[in-house]
Amino acid sequence: MKLIGQLRSDGDIDVVDLDDDGSARVVASLDAFWAAPHEHASGPATGPRIGPEELRPVPPVLPAAKVLCIGLNYADHVAEGSFAGTPRADHPTIFGRWTDSLTVDGAAIPVPPDEDGLDWEGEVMAWVGRTLVDATPEEALAAVVGYSPFNDVTARRAQKLTSQWTVGKNADASGPLGAMTPAHEIGDLSRGPRLATRVNGETVQEASTDQMIFGVGETLAEVSRTLTLRPGDLLATGTPSGVGYARTPVRLLQPGDVVEVEVERLGRVRNQVVGAQARHRP
């Protein structure tokens, strides 16, 4: 299954399963899907079929979902950037996104007016499918219902204005999510699907998820000891080396550039960067 959101004409959202021909079949309404995500993700989809021309993709994300992100989760990424030379952390560095910063495959990503460009960060996104409170790593990993390719596109100027990353990690439409593949089709990320990020067809990041410092289960378990995680919450698992700001000279995404993140067995998310004026369109 390849699950995305579909915006209905009445403004509600369905979760649909994409077919290879670009059509989709409805799995459930958004609320119904997240009420029983593991059951729905076991398939098959049996709802109405939607033709490619009728699809209006949106992230299948609940409005109240928490979007947690791990920073500095690949050793080679730590070594290339501003934190080079720092000791390995004992706990994952967690920051947050708002759900309205998320977007979908094919959507335009605008460069904010005060940025010289945007930076790419290819990642895997994990979707929580059960409530987690004081969970063990094993319980937390078993609660994951699916994974998506994700690009944690970053406004570096805003990110580095202070020690807090929030603004730079929440630029408009800066978090493109690919389709969700059920976890049972992928297995444990510690066994390493490969990830690649490309800019205008050139590979700029390439790694395997088995290089992550903190795994999905242990990170979700640690978070669950402070705040309750619920079905529909998300965890971005961090990016490997190769980001633009760490290059000499610095390289950032400009209007017209096409950036894509492809993850083995998950698929890809591909987007074009546009100018700041796109932020003012309805």
- Residue ranges per domain, the chain? 1-57, 59-280
Distance CA 69, CA 237 (A): 6
Residue 40 reports pLDDT greater than 90: yes
Contact at 8 Å (CB) between 216 and 146? Answer: no
Enter the DSSP assignment of 41.
T
DSSP string, 127-157: EE-S-BSS--HHHHHHHEEEEEEEE--B-HH
Instruction: Answer yes or no: is pLDDT of 255 > 90.
Output: yes
- How does residue 262 score in pLDDT terms, banded at 50, 70 and 90? very high
Which CATH architecture best describes the domain 59-280? Alpha-Beta Complex (3.90)
Q: Is the peptide bond before 57 cis (omega within 30 degrees of 0)?
A: no
pLDDT for 213-244, tens place per residue? 999 999 999 999 999 999 999 999 999 989 99
pLDDT tens for each residue of 71-113: 889 888 877 777 676 777 789 999 999 999 999 999 999 999 9
Question: Any bridge partners for residue 255, and if so which?
Answer: none
